[in-house]
Structure 1
Amino acid sequence: MATDESTLGRDVAQVNARAKVLGRAQYAGDIQLPGMLHGKVLRSPYPHARIVRIDTSRAEQLPGVKAVLTGANSPATPWGVHHKDRRTLALDVVRFAGQEVAAVAASTEDTARDALDLIDIEYEELAPLLTVDEALAPGAAEVHAGHSNLVHEIAFDRGDVDAGFASAHLVHEATYATHPQYPGYMEPMASVATVDADGRLQVWTATQSAFLVRDRLAKVLQMPASRIRVIQATTGGGFGGKIIEDANSLIAAMLALAARRPVRLVNNRLEDFLACPTSLPERITLKLGMDEGGRIVAKQVDIVADCGAFSGLTPEIMHVSAMRSDNMHRNRNVRSRARLVYTHTPPHGAFRGFGGTQMLFALNSHIDTMARQLGLDPVEVHRRNAIEAGETSVHGWKIGSTGLQQCLSQCVEALDWSAKRARAASSGRLRRGVGVAAAMHVSGNRTIGNWDGSTVMLKVNEDGRVIVHSSEADVGQGAMTMLAQIVAHELNIPLAHVHVALPDTDHSPYCIGTLASRVTIVAGNAAIVAARAAREKLFALASTKLDVPVEQLEIREGCVMVQGAAERRLTLAALAREHIWRHGGHEILVTGSWDAKTQMHDKLMGNVAPAYSFAAQAVEVEVDTETGQVRLVDSFVADDCGKALNPVAVHGQSNGAAAQAIGWALYEQLKLEDGRIANGNFADYTMPTPDSLPALRSGIVESNDPNGPYGAKGASECAILPGAPAIANAVFDAVGVRITELPITPEKVLAGLRALREQKEGAGHA
């Protein structure tokens, strides 16, 4: 077919960008409904305490207060992903500082805040377990009575690990520690809930999955799913934090049902720090064996992860840390043990990269260390170990495409790697170094259940323009634009003639949502199916009207026309109208579904994704040996996205991911004091700003995956994975200090430099 209207492969502004920059996009916090109330939540000041007494009478009597909820008069059904271990409002015991204890709905925000102050709660403080070591100690109290503090455990042993280590020329073991990162999205969590005229619950919310929100609401509120409607409002970023691990939409719904009035619940930034799960902190002990050429012959991993007071998605995140990176290499000998532990700290959960960042910090740091000990370029070590297209990994992952080798090539060329690595070491105050790291991620993931598909519904209106319904969420990454591009390409119509509606569980087909870098590959393929079904209907009618076989038709210039006889044509608008206005007619309304031919893992074995993404990053840093300050001088990240359907969007995602990785590595550190978040605001929680970042650069590798739409696969997560270890490796290259515990702070650099001096002085005396 002709493609003169196609935008595929071209830079395209996001289809919802204009609404956002003009302030017309409606976020959940913007929604106003008649008679709307304002919700507020009262949170525990203690990490662990018994609730002795709650008196809400004064709050209930305050003029303007319409509902007051506690654990005693709100739904008791516990929720969670892997373990149902969390009630929406605490009952009897609080398990982290910030846990939701009570909620109110009032006529104004000020009244709601005043009502919180009038709730009288008596607590009996209990000793908290604030670290995994305390929680795992013999005789430790149980965070959840009747359940071990060891929430979840993973263990596997493939190949002959002991023989692999015995054959190794070099064996290295070290322990690494990673810390939690707050998502830092621009829009805090927000929801508006109401009971409509038919008694159905309607919820507008900032989310990455409207249907997962509806499913949880139905289960917790004990309501039929069909009595609940969830609409995804315009969402200002998610990064994993807006899946289904916070309680915002649940509390808004409970208040609306109690008050029988619309309720808006919007977190301020401090509340969002308390409510939103941060990334999972892990302590990783890694042991690798390599032969003389730098090929990995054995790998052993031990992980202890702190999920906080509730588990949420952390078992799945730890699973990723424990095994995903194994599939990046050809090594067949792997052993892993991973333990997830309850503590009395704020819960952790999904974050961009979903467990990959933690393990790849350790693995890439390890590879750099061992490459140096073997006298090899770490880039060459990555190349020698990289799995290739057509191969099957140690865990049964079938690699249909990989551009890792090209990603490495782009990085070393962009950074002038060889020249900078070969330069003479500086002895001055400011010293420079370079570092590199590599990564892999999934595009889709058959682990929630035995389905990892998507359905797109497409309607051709009587003017020949198209409406697309999908419940895959756009949270700023460009999902709506991608769907519009694909439909416009298949029908060869202008992008402006395609409108993608917001996810709405009443009108959109069931989808899982934005997670696991799945939307481009699964929804993109579904959009192709739907658009081609619509084209078939247009062609079938045009074939009758023009009296030619379908094979001789094409779409161009908003018309179906006979190939080679452009004067014989019918407009799409005329065909859409004719499809209705005839005997037995109906509008052109089609659905297209696509489900990856993957498999649920059995004993952690199986091809879980239709495609796998790869990335590499090279950086240059400057380290001030007097202050310990690390300055990022240059960065280049290369992203294997299969096929760049919208290159400018891919670059935006890659550089945004790199910025988050830089923040995690150098600046961001969630600080707890006695279990309480001490820096839950943007004044004290230091995120990278434009003046702390160099001009971020990125490259695209198009490996053209056989399962992807036009070869495309995920392009939003893999690029966050190599940043932190690349920086750590560059710091070592500059000053010889190996930082194994993130973030890389000036204090740690100075401590490392001091230890090096003492070591040299000790050697001199000897």
Structure 2
Amino acid sequence: MTQTHDSSIAPGSSTLGVEIPQVTARAKVLGRALYAGDLKVAGMLHGKVLRSPYAHARIVSIDTTAARALPGVKAVLTGEDAPAQLWGVHHKERAVLAKGVVRFCGEEVAAVAAVSEEIARDALDLIQVEYEELPAILSVEEAMDEEAPPVHPGRANNIGHEIEFARGDVEAGFAAAHLIHEATYTTHSQYPGYMEPMATVAAPDPDGRLVLWTSTQAVNLVRMQVAATLGLPVSRVRVVQATTGGGFGGKIVEDDNQLVAGLLALKTMRPVRLVNSRLEDFQACCASVPERITLKLGMDRDGLIVAKEVRIVAECGAYAGLAGDVMHVSAMRSDNMHRNPNVRSHATLYYTNNPPRGAFRGFGGTQMQFALNSHIHTMAQQLGLDPVLVHERNALRAGEVSVHGWQIGSTGLVECLQQATEAIGWAEKRLRPKDTGVKRRGVGMAAAMHVSGNRTIGNWDGSTVIVKINEDGRVFIISGECDMGQGASTMISQIVAHELALPLAHVFVVPPDTDVAPVAVGTLASRVTMSAGNAAIVAGRKAREALFALAAPRWGVAPEALSIGGGAVFVTAQPEQRATLAELARQSVWRHDGGGIQVEGRWDPKTVMHDDALFGNIAAAYSYAAQAVEVEVDTETGRVTVLDSYVADDCGKALNPIAIHGQTNGATVQAFGWALYEQLHYDESGRLANGNFADYTMATADAVPMLRGGFVESMDPNGPYGAKGASETAILPGAPAIANAVEDAVGIRIRDLPITPEKVLAALRARKQEEARDA
């Protein structure tokens, strides 16, 4: 699937590899794109949710009498009105509306539908709930206590998930090591920070089916969850993706918004729009999984890793969701970067009474790469080696198989390392004299890998793309894969336009709609370019073959004698003998046994689900990135400023360089925020104290340098025209690169994110006191 030239396609018409605006950009810039919160349906009601003020409490009673009596209120629902069926990704443990007990501050207790938002809000104020506050478990340490009460009855020791595996002979590896280093790192939750809060419009259609227009990354997963939870056959639920204003993992299938909206619509038999406020979104959306990682590495004198041991304690909050899958990635994905045959990991996920944690861009890779890259940097220093050299010596090469059975078809990791460090002036800046003034500079780097697809949800990681050629010669593309701003629609459009040699403006991707789109996994695990891209190639070529089969009899030639370009099919040797796509599309319909030109392309990677021992080749390709940064540390204030940054991204083949740069830059800024600024603050009762963009500090323009970056095109053998996923890998190296640069600048190692001024000053004081004692 890596060929980029086809003799039957007219030259000069393709946008592959060309910087072009996203096909959705114009509608968004002009304000014409319709998000779920913009939609209005005749007779529409407005939904609002009453949320628990307590992290853990028994619901003694709920009195909705006054709320129901308020003019304009059409429904007031509590747990007694909700289905008995619980929901969740792996563990069915969460009620649509809480029944009997609430387990986190912000959990959904009651829902209202009214003729206006104002009346719905007033109705919430009239609902009287009597709670009996219960002891809350607000930390992993409390959850691990043998005497701790269970967050969920029957969940022994508050464990939500556990992973344990070993490969090779870890003890022998450590015994042979020249250097062994062990340290513990802690990472914190990060809110996805998308511009559009979670929103859904739910409505019964004239036949009583439930239709949802929603902000989502996975229409089919939403349909399955809504149907199963609300007790409907899956065919009685239709999910349409509205324009989605960012997802970053937070809009896969872990939010209650769609279920509450659907329940209100079914109870009122009226359309209901439910839009989270920003505070509600902070409370309800799954932030990333916090982890405490204890890492032990053994290296020989040359910096080759000979043994690795990982222990992870992670927290999922009140409900597990996808947190166990995230922890799984932390526990084992980074093992596949290196040639080390001896690895051992034990990871445990604990319930608490904090809000649920779950999927986030990078999906567990960020947590472990912070620990691993910090660790490698420290050990390289102890061995007197450049950490870049240590990464290069240990990197798996193309054609090799990792310790977990991952088959590396392509890798540009070494090239990414070289590109990023050369761009930052790594060698020269590491040799310069150390600053001794108040403000001191340092450089740091880190490397990472990610997947392009993930055969772990079930034994299918493929995609289906339908191409329909209309009677005007233009093309509709129908797919269930979602564009949440990352450019999936543009990528699919480019591929089909390339295969049919059409202008991009003549190709339109229909918004995902489960009534008409083929089944799809959705936008997660950087899988869409790989799976949907390859399916689009298959569909585009099938469409071309159908056109050639129609055109060939016109001129008495074989289909192989034809070419396509400029909106027409023509005889390659006699270009004047031509027929437009519109003519051929009409010809296909208006004839005996005719019909429109509509073809389906399917593609499923030849990957292998991991077995019970977690061994298997789960992705069609693996992406890589490296980042180098220069920081300045103010030793009087503790402030860390990133002065320069360069990210090198192995995307296989850059199908649209400007789009990939945009994704890389966005990921880089999210990494800066996680490393230096963002932190969710809860009071002693479990209430979120900074659930808004004024108090939740994110990286803004004045905190970000000119973002620089480049590509390494490793041309993956399985990717569409050699491409791989390119939206997530770039977030992974940012935090450790900054931590390594801080250490280079002022000689302190911060292992507890975020790297705040307070932590920097405390570490500087501790070092000064230690130096005074030694003196």
TM-score (norm 1): 0.99
Q: In the aligned structure 1, how far is the partner of 2:456 from the partner of 2:435?
A: 50
Residue 528 of structure 2 is matched in structure 1 by 519
One of 611, 614, 618 as aligned partner of 2:624: 614
Residue 668 of structure 1 is matched in structure 2 by 678
Cα deviations across residues 201-223 of structure 1 (Å, max 9, x unaligned)? 11000000001000001100110
**What aligned pairs does 1:192-207 form with structure 2 within 5 A after superposition?**
192-207=201-216
Query: How much has 1:272 moved relative to structure 2?
Result: 0.4
Q: In the aligned structure 2, how far is the partner of 1:409 from the partner of 1:565?
A: 50
1:64 correspondence with 2:75: no
Give unmatched runs, 5+ long, in structure 2.
Answer: 1-7
1:679 correspondence with 2:690: yes
Residue 109 of structure 1 is matched in structure 2 by 117
Residue 580 of structure 2 is matched in structure 1 by 571
Residue 707 of structure 1 is matched in structure 2 by 718
Residues 3, 489 of structure 1: 8 Å contact kept: no
**What aligned pairs does 1:522-533 form with structure 2 within 5 A after superposition?**
522-533=531-542
Give, as a single letter, the amino acid of the residue that structure 1 aligns with 2:79. G
Cα deviations across residues 161-196 of structure 1 (Å, max 9, x unaligned)? 000001001000000000000000000000000001
One of 231, 243, 247 as aligned partner of 1:222: 231
Residue 18 of structure 1 is matched in structure 2 by 26
Give, as a single letter, the amino acid of the residue that structure 1 aligns with 2:630. E
Q: In the aligned structure 2, how far is the partner of 1:431 from the partner of 1:594?
A: 53
Q: In the aligned structure 2, how far is the partner of 1:327 from the partner of 1:12?
A: 34
Q: In the aligned structure 2, how far is the partner of 1:157 from the partner of 1:444?
A: 24
Q: Secondary structure at the residue paired with 1:185? A: coil
**What aligned pairs does 1:326-365 form with structure 2 within 5 A after superposition?**
326-365=335-374
Residue 555 of structure 1 is matched in structure 2 by 564
Residue 639 of structure 2 is matched in structure 1 by 629
Task: Report how many aligned residue pairs link the two structures.
Answer: 764
Q: In the aligned structure 2, how far is the partner of 1:391 from the partner of 1:85?
A: 41
Give, as a single letter, the amino acid of the residue that structure 1 aligns with 2:36. A
**What aligned pairs does 1:204-603 form with structure 2 within 5 A after superposition?**
204-602=213-611, 603=613
Residue 703 of structure 2 is matched in structure 1 by 692
The worse-fitting range, judged by mean Cα deviation, of 578-587 and 557-566 is 557-566
One of 131, 137, 142 as aligned partner of 1:123: 131
Give, as a single letter, the amino acid of the residue that structure 2 aligns with 1:757. K
One of 152, 160, 163 as aligned partner of 1:154: 163
Give, as a single letter, the amino acid of the residue that structure 2 aligns with 1:660. Q
Q: In the aligned structure 1, how far is the partner of 2:551 from the partner of 2:669?
A: 51
Q: In the aligned structure 2, how far is the partner of 1:693 from the partner of 1:534?
A: 46
Residue 756 of structure 1 is matched in structure 2 by 767
Residue 659 of structure 2 is matched in structure 1 by 649
Give, as a single letter, the amino acid of the residue that structure 2 aligns with 1:368. H
1:92 correspondence with 2:100: yes
One of 704, 712, 716 as aligned partner of 2:727: 716
One of 751, 759, 766 as aligned partner of 1:740: 751
One of 143, 148, 151 as aligned partner of 1:140: 148
Q: In the aligned structure 2, how far is the partner of 1:172 from the partner of 1:85?
A: 40
Residues 171, 290 of structure 1: 8 Å contact kept: yes
Give, as a single letter, the amino acid of the residue that structure 1 aligns with 2:772. E
Query: How much has 1:514 moved relative to structure 2?
Result: 0.3
Cα deviations across residues 111-152 of structure 1 (Å, max 9, x unaligned)? 000100111100000000111111111121000012220111
Q: Secondary structure at the residue paired with 1:673? A: coil
Q: Secondary structure at the residue paired with 1:676? A: coil
Q: Secondary structure at the residue paired with 1:252? A: helix
Q: Secondary structure at the residue paired with 2:763? A: helix
Query: How much has 1:564 moved relative to structure 2?
Result: 2.1
Q: Secondary structure at the residue paired with 2:607? A: coil
Give, as a single letter, the amino acid of the residue that structure 1 aligns with 2:755. I
Cα deviations across residues 258-280 of structure 1 (Å, max 9, x unaligned)? 11111000011001000100000
Cα deviations across residues 469-493 of structure 1 (Å, max 9, x unaligned)? 0110000000000000000000001
Q: Secondary structure at the residue paired with 1:697? A: strand
Cα deviations across residues 676-716 of structure 1 (Å, max 9, x unaligned)? 11100000000011111001111111000000000001000
Residue 5 of structure 2 is matched in structure 1 by none
Q: In the aligned structure 1, how far is the partner of 2:314 from the partner of 2:186?
A: 10
Give, as a single letter, the amino acid of the residue that structure 2 aligns with 1:413. E
Q: In the aligned structure 1, how far is the partner of 2:544 from the partner of 2:718?
A: 22
Q: In the aligned structure 1, how far is the partner of 2:700 from the partner of 2:72?
A: 42
Q: In the aligned structure 2, how far is the partner of 1:48 from the partner of 1:424?
A: 55
Q: In the aligned structure 2, how far is the partner of 1:194 from the partner of 1:76?
A: 22
1:726 correspondence with 2:748: no
Query: How much has 1:3 moved relative to structure 2?
Result: 3.2
Cα deviations across residues 207-263 of structure 1 (Å, max 9, x unaligned)? 000010000011001101111110000000000000010101110000011111110
Q: Secondary structure at the residue paired with 2:575? A: strand
Residues 528, 592 of structure 1: 8 Å contact kept: yes
Root-mean-square deviation over aligned CA pairs = 0.6
Query: How much has 1:520 moved relative to structure 2?
Result: 0.2
Residue 54 of structure 1 is matched in structure 2 by 62
Query: How much has 1:409 moved relative to structure 2?
Result: 0.8
Percentage identity across aligned positions?
68
Cα deviations across residues 642-694 of structure 1 (Å, max 9, x unaligned)? 00000000111011100000000000001111211110000000001111100
Query: How much has 1:763 moved relative to structure 2?
Result: 1.0
Cα deviations across residues 501-532 of structure 1 (Å, max 9, x unaligned)? 10000111110110000000000000011111
Residues 437, 725 of structure 1: 8 Å contact kept: yes
